[in-house]
Structure 1
Amino acid sequence: MTIRLRAHHLLCMLTYVGKGYTPAFTVNYDRIAERLSQGEEIVIVEGPDDVCAPLLTEAEPHCFNDSVAERDRQAARDIGDLLGRRIGAGERIEPDAILLAKLRAGFGSGLTRTACAGCEWAELCSAIVNDAYTGVKVGGPPC
């Protein structure tokens, strides 16, 4: 199978430690984190993805907001610059240890965090970076 992710979730997955919007969201993300850790392929999508799925039944899910689409554009640009490749809808990515290490290095240095401006999770993510990614559920801390 393939995991469908919007671009900014390539950043979120780096610091995911089992916290989320709702219990259903967290259970779903835990399953996705396990699949990512096993190296399951990612396909980039526009709009709501597999991580968003539990939130889509809400009256007004934030996953459709223009601000979230802009977050995706910023993340795709920054990650693409970091990796030297296009990150956009339809692109396929293998989440191996080398990729995760590159993404975490870029995230930790701030190179790929433009998309994180104003995010309610930014403080938690910064704390996780400062703790050397201890407890992350996707791929574990870098070597």
Structure 2
Amino acid sequence: MTVRLRAHHLLCVLTYVGKGYNSDFVFNLDGIASRLSDGEDVQIVEGPDDICAPLLERGDGHCLADRVRWRDRIAQGQVASALGCPVATGDTLTLGAVRLANLRSAYTTQRVSGACGGCQWRSLCATVAENGYRDVRLIAKSSTPTKCWET
């Protein structure tokens, strides 16, 4: 299987430590973090993704807002720059150890945090990064393929 993520959620999973909007959201994101840790691929999607599901089920449509699509556009460009690969809807990748370390390094140095402006979780994520990503739920167990993207 493949985890469907919008581009800015690539940034969210970097610092996820088990906190979220509600218990359903946390349960879902714990499962996604576990699947990604086990090496499941990520497919970049436009619009609501596997992380958004519990919010949409409860009638919270903030993931449909223009500001969220703006975050995706910013994240696509910054993630592409950090990885040295294009990032587009439909692309598939594995967040192995090397790729995850590269993205976390870019997040720590704020090269990929532009999409986080105005996000209510920004200060928590910054603290997680400042603490060396201690207690994060996504821990890659494999290395990363050398190819940019698998299609």
TM-score range with shorter-chain normalisation? over 0.9
| Residues 13-24 of structure 1 aligned to structure 2 (within 5 Å) | 13-24=13-24
User: Match for 1:56: what amino acid?
Assistant: L
Shift in CA distance, 115/104, structure 1 to aligned 2, threshold 3 Å? same
Please report how far the alpha carbon of residue 60 of structure 1 lies from its aligned counterpart in structure 2 after TM superposition: 4.2
- Partners of 1:36 and 1:57 in 2: CA distance: 23
Superposition CA RMSD, Å: 0.9
User: Match for 2:122: what amino acid?
Assistant: A
| Residues 97-116 of structure 1 aligned to structure 2 (within 5 Å) | 97-116=97-116
User: Match for 1:129: what amino acid?
Assistant: A
Match of 1:74 in 2: 74
The alignment partner of 2:101 has SS state of helix
**TM-score, normalised on structure 2?**
0.90
The alignment partner of 2:57 has SS state of coil
- Listed one character per residue, the Cα deviations across residues 3-46 of structure 1 (whole Å, up to 9, x for unaligned) are 00000000000000000001000000000000000110000000
The alignment partner of 2:73 has SS state of helix
| Residues 1-143 of structure 1 aligned to structure 2 (within 5 Å) | 1-139=1-139
The alignment partner of 1:27 has SS state of helix
- Partners of 1:12 and 1:59 in 2: CA distance: 21
- Partners of 1:94 and 1:29 in 2: CA distance: 17
**TM-score, normalised on structure 1?**
0.95
- Listed one character per residue, the Cα deviations across residues 107-139 of structure 1 (whole Å, up to 9, x for unaligned) are 000000100111100000011011100000001
Between the two proteins, the alignment pairs up a number of residues equal to: 140
Identity of aligned residues (%): 47
Unaligned runs of 5+ in 2: 141-151
* Residues 12-21 or 50-59, more deviating: 50-59
Please report how far the alpha carbon of residue 88 of structure 1 lies from its aligned counterpart in structure 2 after TM superposition: 1.4
- Partners of 1:8 and 1:138 in 2: CA distance: 16
